[in-house]
Amino acid sequence: MNRSRHGREWPAEGITRVPYWAYSDEEIYAQEQERIFRGPSWSFLCLEAELAKPNTWRATSLGEMPVVVARDDQGVLRAFENRCAHRGALLCLKDRGEDRKIVCVYHNWTYDLEGNLTGVAFRRGIGGKGGLPEDCRPETQAPRKLRVAALAGLVFGTLSPTAPPLETYLGGEIVKRIRRVMRAPVRVLGSYSQIVRSNWKLYLENVKDTYHASLLHTFFTTFRLARLTQKGALIINDSGGGHASLTMAADSGGREYEQAGMRAAQDWLKLEAPELLQSVDEFGDGCGVQIVGVFPSFVLQQIRNSLAVRRIVPKSVERTELIWTAFGFEDDSPELTEMRLRQANLIGPAGYVSMEDGAAPGFVQRAVVAAPELLSLVEMDGSGISSSENKVSEAAVRGMWHAWREQMGI
């Protein structure tokens, strides 16, 4: 067994077993913030389309660390800690804004859109009295700056000077699957958020668990959007942390789920508005569902013509915020935009498909909290983390834990 700095031991079976303490240990959670989110990983911050012009900014996060992403007056993307150098107050209280400077509401210290401290109210006091001493250098406490990289309209950031270039971190196959969806300049259609009552890793596991999709999601199975019997593929990058799962839209019409009595297959369910599922093959490859998940915080989805990014934000050891942003493209026809808006009912906190994903991780969290030394079984399709055409598999989940252990040193 491998022992962590906190004395926790990883099972000898490796990534086919996951100890339940990984979801509930407060010290492990704090170490994740340091070694993963503020370490050599790239976290998704926002869409470039959310910063459509110079002198705009958006509040986001790097794990629990609040962050501002901005486009400066030259149009260059910047990112820095959302924290004033003075007393540590949030600089940006709103989700987004437009200005050439940011002013801390607490004591009116000012910053430019690169995160540089540019002004201190009454720095030299009044009438020669008060103010900061001559040798005080508040600039040394200024917000930490992130490295920023954009890929196909997606903005990622890292605090680490040693993190590899973004495309290297993602790997060529994952970059290809991202570019497939992000084919044109983006138009944001709307966003929403939800709180998932579980550890952040349980939601990311769920995204990477191709085995569950047609067993948990009644809508997927009943209306034949995604069944394990449909052709597809599972792509996993070298680090294990990035994956893409593909399901082709064509369905054989077989009744394997019904004959097995699967809960997810409900013949009696009908759509009063069947136009909800009207779709077009806009990518020209017959793929009906593609989900990309990148460790530690990014999800890109294509469910027919419903496109969205999801940002995973840890809030505490047993509480996670999930932020959804639905989008289309600037060159979409009105008819395609309307189709996307209808299909947006599939996703989000109350989505016909995604509703269960907000609940299932919480079911696990509630069940394992009293069993920290027991183990989760992650052995579907063996013990590897290789790409394959088989989706009755937990290979991408194992890949996630491989990446987690590498960054945590456990």
Q: How far apart are CA 10 and CA 1, in angstroms?
A: 5
Quickly list DSSP for 114-158.
TS-EEE-TTTT-BTTBSS--TT--GGGGSPPBPEEEEETTEEEEE
Q: How far apart are CA 109 and CA 93, in angstroms?
A: 14
Structure tokens at 333: 């026809």
388, 17 Cβ separation under 8 angstroms: no
Note the Cα 147 to chain centre separation in Å.
18
Would you give per-residue pLDDT tens digits along the chain (410 residues)?
455 555 688 999 999 999 999 999 999 999 999 999 999 999 999 999 999 999 999 999 999 999 999 999 999 999 999 999 999 999 999 999 999 999 999 999 999 999 999 999 999 999 989 999 999 999 999 999 999 999 999 999 999 999 999 999 999 999 999 999 999 999 999 999 999 999 999 999 999 999 998 888 898 888 898 898 999 999 999 999 999 999 999 888 888 888 888 888 888 889 899 999 999 999 999 999 999 999 999 999 999 999 999 999 999 999 999 999 999 999 999 999 999 999 999 999 999 999 999 999 999 999 999 999 999 999 999 999 999 999 999 999 999 999 999 999 99
Q: How far apart are CA 405 and CA 410, in angstroms?
A: 5
Structure tokens at 187: 């138009």
Taking only the tens place, the pLDDT of each residue in 198-228 is: 999 999 999 999 999 888 889 888 889 889 8
Residue 307 forms beta bridges with which residues? 302, 327
What is the pTM (predicted TM-score) of this model?
0.94
Contacts (Cβ under 8 Å, ≥6 apart) of 370: none
- Of the candidates 291, 305, 314, 311, the one whose C-alpha atom is nearest the C-alpha of residue 64 is 314
Quickly list DSSP for 217-256.
-HHHHHTTS--TTS-EEEEE-TTSSEEEEEEES------H
Q: How far apart are CA 22 and CA 159, in angstroms?
A: 24
Amino acid found at 250: A
Distances, alpha carbon 176 to alpha carbons 84, 151, 152, in Å: 39, 11, 10
Question: Would you tell me how many other CB atoms lie within 10 Å of the CB of residue 142?
Answer: 20
Q: How far apart are CA 406 and CA 353, in angstroms?
A: 33
Domains plus CATH for the chain? Answer: 43-149 (2.102.10.10), 170-408 (3.90.380.10)
Quickly list DSSP for 281-334.
-TTSS-EEEEEEEETTTEEEEEETTEEEEEEEEEEETTEEEEEEEEEEETT--H
